[in-house]
Amino acid sequence: MSQTKSAPRRPSLSPAQIRSKILDAAADCLVDGGFASGRLLSAVARRAGLSRPTLYKYGGTIDDIKQALFERELAAFLDALAPRLRALTWTVDGIADLLVFIVGYARGHTLLNAALRDVPELALPIFTLQAEGPIRLITQVAEPIVRERIDAGTLPPHDIPVLTEVLFRIAISTVLIRSDMDFDDPDVLRDYLRTTISFAAGLPAS
């Protein structure tokens, strides 16, 4: 008597893998126009292949998911920034190269571009009127790295929180303020930043 073979069971996912799947699906939905959607949670559940109860259990509300996604994307940026801080040279070209990376990263970030496109009234304050949060997180990553470089004598002594905020302001204004310059062209962007830094560095102290 033949026996019917049952379909192989899918390996179960860990809670961390489920949360990652939810955030990946949310990112896709938001880039596709979901920032302005009133049914985003349903779209995320469908994209992730999860039931609504499972989505609530591991992801929470849509605001929870957006916050977790923001924190994940910021953490990825900080991970990419850290080795560049360790390799930073205190020259016009060195600082310009760091800013080129930061500006290029932000301008090429699909999720950030989707937020600025669909809900600028929500996205812009995060980097302007409410920028103390991102600046604080960037400073927490930058300070021990830059402090170590200063102690080793490879960078001059500076007030690190002030330095972080100045570079943040330069970078974010270059990202958000549109002009006739094509900052998507790395050469144009680098020349602009080199000129800006050289101009500031050449001013005498009073």
pLDDT of residue 201: 78
Nearest to 121 by CA among 35, 29, 44: 35
Residue 65 lies in a domain: no
Is 83 found in the same domain as 45? no
Pick out the chain residues at pLDDT < 50. 1, 7-8
pLDDT of residue 83: 95
pLDDT of residue 10: 54
Residue 48 lies in a domain: yes
Is 80 found in the same domain as 18? no
Residue 183 lies in a domain: yes
Distance separating alpha carbons of residues 51 and 56, to the nearest angstrom = 9
CA distances, 44 to each of 28, 61, 65 (Å): 8, 11, 10
pLDDT of residue 188: 93
pTM: predicted TM-score of the whole model, two decimal places: 0.84
Full domain range(s) for residue 48: 13-60
Is 93 found in the same domain as 51? no
Is 170 found in the same domain as 103? yes
Q: Which two tokens stand for residue 177?
A: 């303020």
Is 135 found in the same domain as 40? no
pLDDT of residue 9: 53
Is 97 found in the same domain as 54? no
pLDDT of residue 5: 56
Distance separating alpha carbons of residues 68 and 61, to the nearest angstrom = 11
Is 37 found in the same domain as 79? no
Residue 7 lies in a domain: no
pLDDT of residue 40: 86
